[in-house]
Amino acid sequence: MQLHDLGCCHICKLPGRVMGIRVLRFSLVVILVLLLVAGALTALLPSVKEDKMLMLRREIKSQGKSTMDSFTLIMQTYNRTDLLLKLLNHYQAVPNLHKVIVVWNNIGEKAPDELWNSLGPHPIPVIFKQQTANRMRNRLQVFPELETSAVLMVDDDTLISTPDLVFAFSVWQQFPDQIVGFVPRKHVSTSSGIYSYGGFEMQAPGSGNGDQYSMVLIGASFFNSKYLEFFQRQPAAVHALIDDTQNCDDIAMNFIIAKHIGKTSGIFVKPVNMDNLEKETNSGYSGMWHRAEHALQRSYCINKLVNIYGSMPLKYSNIMISQFGFPYANYKRKI
Amino acid sequence: MQLHDLGCCHICKLPGRVMGIRVLRFSLVVILVLLLVAGALTALLPSVKEDKMLMLRREIKSQGKSTMDSFTLIMQTYNRTDLLLKLLNHYQAVPNLHKVIVVWNNIGEKAPDELWNSLGPHPIPVIFKQQTANRMRNRLQVFPELETSAVLMVDDDTLISTPDLVFAFSVWQQFPDQIVGFVPRKHVSTSSGIYSYGGFEMQAPGSGNGDQYSMVLIGASFFNSKYLEFFQRQPAAVHALIDDTQNCDDIAMNFIIAKHIGKTSGIFVKPVNMDNLEKETNSGYSGMWHRAEHALQRSYCINKLVNIYGSMPLKYSNIMISQFGFPYANYKRKI
């Protein structure tokens, strides 16, 4: 059919007709390509090595995973590689874990990447981040490898059971702006206005029944990964305080978060099965909290931080969360 | 000074001068009146009867009280006046209680107003609301006497300790859109799509650890008083269901709230000290739940409500809240 035979509408109809043929051709090509790819995959499946398939599966999963549905474990380690590796064997299998970032504070010593890889395959990627200086606040960097909204931060001597982690993560998903963790602490006011730091052994604040907490320690907790950025943006005096004491990064995080959300910084989840493995290390090194000045430093930090921020932002809470029906019938009255 | 002597500004200055004198006079009068009132009050204080002063204090308090800081106890009662009065003696002294509304379902029998008053003075007002028919849903009316945002609803055989109430109220203040209470229940799905109602004895839903609940019964709970209005606005079929069964008003409330907030209707607070006193009554009457058909009715109600609302709005939760440090050291691990 010639163009001029189509009359005044020929301009309208012609692109349509040509388009129609082009679309048809394009569709056929796409279908053919899809069939070829499908055929290729089916042919290739049985022969792909197990670890390659796992890598492919992990890639697809990590691209599709919503950032709220999984978490990244950040574990800082110093001089207790035996405990670290034992713990990694446990944590690598926890459901909803996306990735592990090991903050390697053993300056000058090579991280065990080769050992780790030789003992693969592993369920999830583990990244060893070699540090240039042994700093407590290294674990609060904004790691480019971190893709999830949630961080699980655990000390390198702390073993938290999987049921505890699965439950606490589900609690964090309901309270994503707070630290959801297993270790509650508090500050107490004294008549002089000087604050002191402690746990249950200290005077319960307020006049009601029971105790209160105003901090949840980050070394066994879930918190929103955006708070790492918040931490980096704090006044230099805060970073200097943490560097001077090699302590108090967790107290600072509680200050930052309480200040930001205007309510209690954390929610305490009572652990069913959480252990400290520090006695099991052969490294001869015990944790920082064994230093003579550790507790006094924590009180010192609280007063310094109040000074830096110009106020006491920590708020008390007495909410303790447990998992309904785990252990079995834990909601029943003990007669 | 005569007006025309003031020149062109006389119009401006005159009101000011006159106003000045008037304001001065007014201030003097006010001061005098205040002094007289103060004097009168001081003179009257020692001679006012104790109950009159209490009434005055209560009036001032109730006008000044924020509606979130106190709650109203609504207790429906049928044929167990001995338990009712025993319970009222306990509940009337609970901190932050604003008022008690007793829903008197003993038709034809006079409510014990006279007895109550003869045993005064009482810490808070107690209103006996004589009902015209013995209906389970009488307790869900929008009572004009109710002034607080929170309702504490308690069955007339349930004794909840004061520490439990004080704590649960503080939890409600943090979650005012949910039922915060002491009795969790759940619905279970079956392969036929028919639902069943029950407690811990039933199959735990989901594949994880522990149990879940999807309802918090209102007969031992705090909830927002606006939900009474919501209840009144429900389809007639819902009210008819409750009237036919003399049951399920609490299940209906959970449906309504879950539907409204799009999340689990309630939060379970584990009671430390809660008792059922039904065995202690001399009335010869035992609670509704002893009827043979009671449990089957509850399952029946769930399916009827799903039918009426066109969906199952209830959502599961496994969050159990306890008070940190009460009883003492309840957060410590049992070894």
pLDDT one-digit tens code per residue, B15-35: 555 566 777 777 777 778 777
DSSP string across A241-258: HHHHHT--HHHHHHHHHH
- Measured distance CA(A110)–CA(B154) in Å, rounded: 65
Sequence letter at residue A288: M
Q: List CB contacts (< 8 A) between A167 and chain B.
A: 209-210, 318
Report CB contact under 8 Å: A171, B329.
no
Return the pLDDT at A6.
43
- Measured distance CA(A308)–CA(A238) in Å, rounded: 8
| Residue A122 pLDDT greater than 90, yes or no | yes
- Measured distance CA(A257)–CA(A265) in Å, rounded: 5
In tens, the pLDDT along B128-182 reads 999 999 999 999 999 999 999 999 999 999 999 999 999 999 999 999 999 999 9
- Measured distance CA(B300)–CA(B248) in Å, rounded: 9
| Residue B59 pLDDT greater than 80, yes or no | no
Active site residues of B: 250
Averaged pLDDT, A280-290: 86
A69 is catalytic: no
Return the pLDDT at B7.
46
In this structure, are residues A232 and A140 in contact, taking their beta carbons and an 8 Å threshold? yes
- Measured distance CA(B116)–CA(A204) in Å, rounded: 39
Q: ipTM of the predicted structure?
A: 0.80
Return the pLDDT at A34.
75
Return the pLDDT at B17.
58
Report CB contact under 8 Å: A325, B171.
no
Q: Between A200, A271, A328, which is nearest B325 by CB?
A: A200
| Residue A95 pLDDT greater than 90, yes or no | yes
Q: Which residue of A has its CA nearest to B326?
A: A210
| Residue B333 pLDDT greater than 70, yes or no | yes
A31: confidence class by pLDDT, cuts 50, 70, 90 = confident
Report CB contact under 8 Å: A324, B212.
yes
Report CB contact under 8 Å: B209, A166.
yes
Q: Between B166, B271, B318, which is nearest A324 by CB?
A: B318
Report CB contact under 8 Å: B324, A318.
yes
In this structure, are residues B245 and B300 in contact, taking their beta carbons and an 8 Å threshold? yes
Q: Write down the residue that tokens 């008083």 correspond to.
A: B225
Sequence letter at residue A174: Q
Q: Write down the residue that tokens 């008792």 correspond to.
A: B275
- The pTM of this model reads 0.81
pLDDT above 70 coverage of chain B, percent: 84
Q: Which two tokens stand for residue A182?
A: 């297993």
In tens, the pLDDT along B60-103 reads 444 444 589 999 999 999 999 999 999 999 999 999 999 999 99
Strands B266-269 and B319-323: parallel
Q: How many CB atoms are located within 10 Å of the residue B201 CB?
A: 5
- Measured distance CA(A136)–CA(A303) in Å, rounded: 19
Return the pLDDT at B19.
61
Q: Which two tokens stand for residue A66?
A: 């919503």
Report CB contact under 8 Å: A323, B210.
yes
Tell me the residues of chain A between 71 and 100 that have a Cβ less than 8 Å away from chain B.
none
Sequence letter at residue B206: G
Comparing CA positions, the residue from B73, B132, B88 lying closest to residue B108 is B132
Q: Write down the residue that tokens 């006011």 correspond to.
A: A189
CB-based contact, A105 to chain B, within 8 Å: no
- Alpha-helix residue ranges (DSSP H) falling in chain B: 10-44, 50-64, 81-91, 113-118, 162-174, 226-232, 236-245, 249-261, 294-309
How confident is the prediction for chain B on average, in pLDDT?
88
Axis crossing angle, helix A294-309 with helix A236-245, rounded to the nearest 10: 170
Return the pLDDT at A335.
47
Return the pLDDT at B78.
96
| Residue A40 pLDDT greater than 60, yes or no | yes
Return the pLDDT at B326.
94
| Residue A308 pLDDT greater than 70, yes or no | yes
| Residue B332 pLDDT greater than 50, yes or no | yes
In this structure, are residues B254 and B266 in contact, taking their beta carbons and an 8 Å threshold? yes
Q: Between A167, A318, A333, which is nearest B325 by CB?
A: A318
A33: confidence class by pLDDT, cuts 50, 70, 90 = confident
Interface test with A, best of B188, B320, B332, B334 (most A CBs within 10 A): B320
Averaged pLDDT, B188-201: 93
Q: Which two tokens stand for residue B21?
A: 């004198």
How confident is the prediction for chain A on average, in pLDDT?
88
A7: confidence class by pLDDT, cuts 50, 70, 90 = very low
Comparing CA positions, the residue from A91, A106, A318, A136 lying closest to residue A210 is A318
Q: List CB contacts (< 8 A) between B271 and chain A.
A: 333
- Measured distance CA(B239)–CA(B318) in Å, rounded: 30
Averaged pLDDT, A120-146: 97
Return the pLDDT at A206.
85
Q: Between B167, B209, B211, which is nearest A163 by CB?
A: B209
Q: List CB contacts (< 8 A) between B270 and chain A.
A: 322, 331
CB-based contact, B31 to chain A, within 8 Å: no
Return the pLDDT at B1.
43
A302: confidence class by pLDDT, cuts 50, 70, 90 = very high
Comparing CA positions, the residue from B187, B257, B245 lying closest to residue B218 is B257
What pairs with residue A221 in β-bridges? A153, A181
Report CB contact under 8 Å: B324, A209.
no
CA distance A215 to chain B (A): 13
B334: confidence class by pLDDT, cuts 50, 70, 90 = low
Averaged pLDDT, A61-88: 86
| Residue B9 pLDDT greater than 90, yes or no | no
A234: confidence class by pLDDT, cuts 50, 70, 90 = very high
Return the pLDDT at B271.
98
| Residue A72 pLDDT greater than 90, yes or no | yes
Return the pLDDT at A22.
76
- Measured distance CA(B128)–CA(B101) in Å, rounded: 6
| Residue A195 pLDDT greater than 60, yes or no | yes
Better-predicted residue by pLDDT, B300 or A27: B300
B4: confidence class by pLDDT, cuts 50, 70, 90 = very low
In this structure, are residues A62 and A97 in contact, taking their beta carbons and an 8 Å threshold? no
SS3 B84: helix
- Measured distance CA(B139)–CA(A325) in Å, rounded: 31
Return the pLDDT at A332.
85
| Residue A299 pLDDT greater than 80, yes or no | yes
Q: Which residue of A has its CA nearest to B205?
A: A325
A84: confidence class by pLDDT, cuts 50, 70, 90 = very high
Comparing CA positions, the residue from A288, A264, A265 lying closest to residue A218 is A265
| Residue B13 pLDDT greater than 80, yes or no | no
Identified catalytic residue from A156, A164, A249, A250: A250
Q: Between B166, B171, B200, which is nearest A325 by CB?
A: B200
Comparing CA positions, the residue from A50, A92, A51 lying closest to residue A73 is A92
- Alpha-helix residue ranges (DSSP H) falling in chain A: 10-44, 50-64, 81-91, 113-118, 162-174, 226-232, 236-245, 249-261, 294-309
- Measured distance CA(B63)–CA(B70) in Å, rounded: 12
- Measured distance CA(A78)–CA(A130) in Å, rounded: 11
